[in-house]
Chain A
Amino acid sequence: MAEEAPIVREWARAAMAGDQAAFGELVAQYQHAVFNLAYRLLGDPQEAEDAAQEAFLRAYANLSRYDPERSFKTWLLSIASNHCIDRLRKRRLTWVSIEDEQMGPHPALVSTEPGPEDALLDGERSAAIQAMLAQVPDDYRTVIVLRYWYDMSYVEIAEVLGTTESAIKSRLFRARQALAHLLEQPASPSPTMKPAMEGS
Chain B
Amino acid sequence: MALNPQHEQMNQALDERLTGAALAEFQAFLEAHPEEAASYEALQQIDRMLRQPPMAAAPEGFAAAVMAQIAAGKHEAYALPERMEILPVAGLALGTAVVLPLLVVLILLAQTLFESGALFALLHGLVQVAGSVSAVLVRALAFLGGLVTAYPMAPALMLTVIPMMMLWGWLVWFLRQRTQPMATVVIKVQAV
Q: Tell whether, in the assembled complex, residue A31 and residue B50 are in contact, meaning their CB atoms are under 8 Å apart.
A: no
Q: Tell whether, in the assembled complex, residue A96 and residue B54 are in contact, meaning their CB atoms are under 8 Å apart.
A: no
Chain A residues contacting B59 (CB-CB under 8 Å) are: 35, 45, 49, 108
Q: Which of B114-122, B162-170, B183-191 contacts A (4 or more CB under 8 A)?
A: B183-191
Interface centre among B53, B58, B76, by most chain A C-beta atoms within 10 angstroms, is B58
Asked if A117 is an interface residue, CB under 8 A from chain B, the answer is: no
Q: Tell whether, in the assembled complex, residue B62 and residue A57 are in contact, meaning their CB atoms are under 8 Å apart.
A: no
With A148-B51, A180-B46, A191-B192 given, is the CB distance from A23 to B70 under 8 Å? yes
Over the window 59-81 of chain A, the binary record of Cβ atoms lying under 8 Å from chain B Cβ atoms (1 yes, 0 no) is: 01110110000000000000000
Asked if A135 is an interface residue, CB under 8 A from chain B, the answer is: no
CA distance A34 to B62 in the complex (A): 11
Q: Tell whether, in the assembled complex, residue B70 and residue A176 are in contact, meaning their CB atoms are under 8 Å apart.
A: no
Q: Which residue on chain B has the smallest CB distance to residue A190?
A: B192
Q: Tell whether, in the assembled complex, residue B186 and residue A100 are in contact, meaning their CB atoms are under 8 Å apart.
A: no
Chain B residues contacting A45 (CB-CB under 8 Å) are: 56, 59
CA distance A176 to B10 in the complex (A): 11
Asked if A198 is an interface residue, CB under 8 A from chain B, the answer is: yes
Chain A residues contacting B67 (CB-CB under 8 Å) are: 20, 23-24, 27
Asked if B33 is an interface residue, CB under 8 A from chain A, the answer is: no
CA distance A31 to B60 in the complex (A): 10
Chain B residues contacting A110 (CB-CB under 8 Å) are: 54-55, 57
Q: Which residue on chain A has the smallest CB distance to residue B183?
A: A93
Asked if A14 is an interface residue, CB under 8 A from chain B, the answer is: no
Asked if A163 is an interface residue, CB under 8 A from chain B, the answer is: no
With A148-B50, A170-B1 given, is the CB distance from A32 to B58 under 8 Å? yes
Chain B residues contacting A170 (CB-CB under 8 Å) are: 1-3
Q: Which residue on chain B has the smallest CB distance to residue A34?
A: B58
With A53-B62, A56-B66, A144-B50 given, is the CB distance from A64 to B82 under 8 Å? yes
CA distance A87 to B83 in the complex (A): 25
How many A residues touch the partner, as a band? 35 or more
Q: Tell whether, in the assembled complex, residue A61 and residue B76 are in contact, meaning their CB atoms are under 8 Å apart.
A: yes
Q: Tell whether, in the assembled complex, residue A198 and residue B186 are in contact, meaning their CB atoms are under 8 Å apart.
A: yes
CA distance A99 to B62 in the complex (A): 27
CA distance A148 to B55 in the complex (A): 11
Q: Tell whether, in the assembled complex, residue A179 and residue B184 are in contact, meaning their CB atoms are under 8 Å apart.
A: no
CA distance A173 to B9 in the complex (A): 10
Q: Which residue on chain A has the smallest CB distance to residue B186?
A: A94
Q: Which of A49, A58, A94 contacts B58 (CB 8 A)?
A: A49
Chain B residues contacting A39 (CB-CB under 8 Å) are: 56
CA distance A199 to B29 in the complex (A): 46
Chain A residues contacting B66 (CB-CB under 8 Å) are: 27, 31, 53, 56-57
Chain A residues contacting B2 (CB-CB under 8 Å) are: 166, 170
Asked if B79 is an interface residue, CB under 8 A from chain A, the answer is: yes
Asked if A28 is an interface residue, CB under 8 A from chain B, the answer is: yes
Q: Return A88 CB to nearest CB of chain B, in Å.
A: 15
Q: Tell whether, in the assembled complex, residue A53 and residue B69 are in contact, meaning their CB atoms are under 8 Å apart.
A: yes
Interface residues of B (CB under 8 A from A): 1-3, 7-8, 10-11, 14, 39, 42-43, 45-47, 49-51, 53-59, 62-63, 65-67, 69-71, 74-80, 82-83, 183-192
- The 4 lowest CB-CB distance pairs between A and B, nearest first, are A35-B58, A180-B42, A61-B79, A31-B58
5 pairs of residues in contact across A and B, judged by CB atoms under 8 Å: A122-B54, A125-B49, A170-B3, A180-B43, A180-B46
Interface residues of A (CB under 8 A from B): 20, 23-24, 27-28, 31-36, 39-40, 45, 48-49, 52-54, 56-58, 60-62, 64-65, 93-97, 99-100, 106, 108-111, 122-123, 125-126, 129, 144, 148-149, 166, 169-170, 172-173, 176-177, 179-181, 183-184, 189-191, 193, 198, 200
